[in-house]
Amino acid sequence: MSAHAATAEGENYLNWQKGIWSWITSTDHKRIGLMYLFSLVTFFIIGGMAALVMRLELAQPGAQFLDPNQYNVMFTLHGAIMIFLFIVPGIPAVLGNFLLPLMIGAQDVAFPRLNLMSYYVYLLGAVMALIALLNPIDTGWTFYAPYSMQTATGVTLMTAAAFVLGFSSILTGLNFIVTVHKLRCPGMTWHRMPVFVWATYATAVIQTLATPVVGMTLVLLLVERYFGIGVFDPKLGGDPVLFEHLFWFYSHPVVYIMVLPAFGIVGEIIPVFSRKPLFGYHMVCYATLGIAVVGFLVWAHHMFVAGISDGSAMYFSIITFGVAIPTAIKVFNWVSTMYKGSISLTTPMLYAMAFVFLFMIAGTTGIYLATLAVDVFYHDTYFVVAHFHYTIQGGAVIGLIAGLHFWFPKITGKMYNEHVSKVAFLLVFVGFNLTFLPQFVLGMEGMPRRYFDYLPQFAPMHELSTIGAFINGFGYTFALVNLLWSWAFGKRKAEKNPYDSLSLEWKCDSPPIHLNFETVPTVDDYPYAYGTPVEGGGH
């Protein structure tokens, strides 16, 4: 890579080419990241609306304004859109695309045109999914056979959509793996890479290895549906439990696709605002890889009561505890980073700290579900719903929002309104906990999930949860409007490096020029060497 011709004053990736055509055909990783961002936010809003409709229906026992079929369609819509169109592409597609090359001192990803193609494959898959979902489908996002064979025909199209979306995921993963291996700038050794790069790398490995299983499942579904060869449907001699195995073999690792990058974001934010090195950097990186590997071996903990043998239930229970340990290591390291720091409670830092708290709850409630005898009680209750939302919304979504605030100056060249963003943070935090803490109680009381109606004993907690959901939704709206408004009308221009970060992405302009760096950067230490060197400060 050689330095390219000097860029004109004031020119950056947002304005160096103009017009819609220059955006939709752009191979610039930063522009592609933004295109993903706007697509994802759109789907997040649709999925969120579906969630609010569900919560409104569940506010009180009995039918409010939906019938059971409409409710079932609503939770399928919410689950499928949020999972497949929003949070699986999620952080890697938006912030991974934008930041990965910047953080390792590269001009772009390894295959820029493939990157653009990934986006359009994603868009095609999204359109297919929407057509399938509006059919409508009422199977839940898990599409369990044989119900999914008997109900709406949209399921085949939806699986086809998941297959196409999967390709986008695989291509992005492949692109990132090659980028990290081949395009690091001089001096950027593996042990000098930011933890967000480590997390994105580990995610890319999972994307590339787990996603092909969706393709296999689709082929088997098609063979069954059109050739009548029994694979999953017992009427044809198939086995519905096999479908669950294949589904979770992909869908469990997917949870780590969603949440590992959020770990990376938190690992970037805490050191900067504590003015301290990330505590135990090496352990944090290895823990990331550890979670990625163990994540492949635990899928059947979703199936303890599904009719698998007692022996495999015991095996999967024990292995699942293997996820708890690297996760615990990360949490200890994040908190230790703050020790003796100089801490600024900026909005990204507040989100990062909220993440630690929410993830403690997500992680410890995961222990109940890993424990075989206890999970028998909790499986398919609201406890699982709450646990899942603490990991994915409390983890991945809060992580994404933390990251969007943190890198907002770099992405847009503007500063956001700090006061408004803190109010939005408070609404999100309070609303989120008010939505999902009561759902843990519901689970303890034995309330099953995916219920259109419930016994009166469950009513108080459902009502609280509904109130929380609306506060939460209002908080997200507030945060989003604040960011968009600050971008469009904000007066405060961002400096190159407003937080005095040592990471490479802050060495280029805000916003960066088209090819990121004027000259090829070099590094001689990891990006967390904050503070005054002391004796016995570790390696």
Partner 1 sequence: MFRYLPEQASEVAPRIDWLHNLITDISVFFTVVICGAMLYFAFRYRKRDGVDHETPQIRGSNLLEVIWTVVPTIICCYIAYYGVMIYKDMVAFKKDAVVINAVGRQWAWDFEYENGKKTNNEFAVPVGKPVKLILSSTDVLHSFFIPAMRVKKDAVPGMFTSLSFTPVKTGEYTSFCTEYCGKDHSAMLATLKVLPEAEYERWLNDRTDELLAAAMSPVELGKKLYAEKGCNACHSLDGAKIIGPSFLKLYGQERECESGNTFTADEEYLRDSILNPRHEIVKGYPAQLMPVFEGQLDEREVKGLVAFIRSLDGSAPVVEEVAQEEEVAVVDPSTLSPEERGKWIYENKLCITCHTLDGSRLVGPSFKNAYGRQGKLADGSDYEANDEYITESLRNPGAKVVEGYAPAMPPYGAGQLSDDDIAGLIAWMKTVK
Under rule CB under 8 A, which residues in 41-80 are in contact with partner 1? 60-63, 67-69, 72
Site track 339-378 with partner 1 (rule: CB under 8 A), x = hit: xxxxxxx-------x--xx--xx--xx-xx-xxxxxxxx-
Residue 506 CB, nearest distance to partner 1 (Å)? 16
325 binds partner 1 (CB under 8 A): yes
299 binds partner 1 (CB under 8 A): no
Residue 498 CB, nearest distance to partner 1 (Å)? 14
Residue 136 CB, nearest distance to partner 1 (Å)? 13
Cis-peptide, bond into residue 448, ω within 30° of zero: no
Coil, strand, or helix at residue 448?
strand
Q: Which long-range contacts (CB under 8 A, 24 or more apart) does 37-44 make?
A: 37/94, 37/404, 39/85, 39/122, 39/123, 39/126, 40/85, 40/86, 40/89, 40/90, 40/93, 40/94, 41/480, 43/81, 43/82, 43/85, 43/86, 43/126, 44/82, 44/86
31 binds partner 1 (CB under 8 A): no
Give the interface size with partner 1 as a residue count (CB under 8 A). 103
222 binds partner 1 (CB under 8 A): no
Nearer to partner 1, 374 or 484 (CB): 374
Nearer to partner 1, 12 or 336 (CB): 336
| CA gap 34, 93 in Å, rounded | 9
Under rule CB under 8 A, which residues in 263-292 are in contact with partner 1? 274-277, 279-283
Segment near partner 1 (CB under 8 A); pick from 84-92, 210-218, 451-459, 464-472: 451-459
Residue 457 CB, nearest distance to partner 1 (Å)? 6
Nearer to partner 1, 113 or 235 (CB): 235
Residue 407 CB, nearest distance to partner 1 (Å)? 21
Residue 364 CB, nearest distance to partner 1 (Å)? 3
Nearer to partner 1, 15 or 342 (CB): 342
Helices 212-227 + 240-274 axis angle, to 10: 160
Under rule CB under 8 A, which residues in 116-155 are in contact with partner 1? 138-140, 142, 144, 146-147, 150-151
Residue 448 phi/psi, 5° resolution? -75, 155
User: Would you list the DSSP string of 98-145?
Assistant: HHHHHHTT-SS-S-HHHHHHHHHHHHHHHHHHHHHHTTT--S-TT--T
Spatial CA neighbour of 259 closest among 299, 291, 222: 291
3-state secondary structure 393-418: HHHHHHHHHHHHHHCHHHHHCECCCH
Nearer to partner 1, 16 or 315 (CB): 315
Please tell me what DSSP assigns to residue 187: T
Under rule CB under 8 A, which residues in 379-418 are in contact with partner 1? 379-381
Residue 444 CB, nearest distance to partner 1 (Å)? 4
How many residues can be counted in the chain? 539
Beta partners for 516? 513
| CA gap 437, 204 in Å, rounded | 32
463 binds partner 1 (CB under 8 A): no
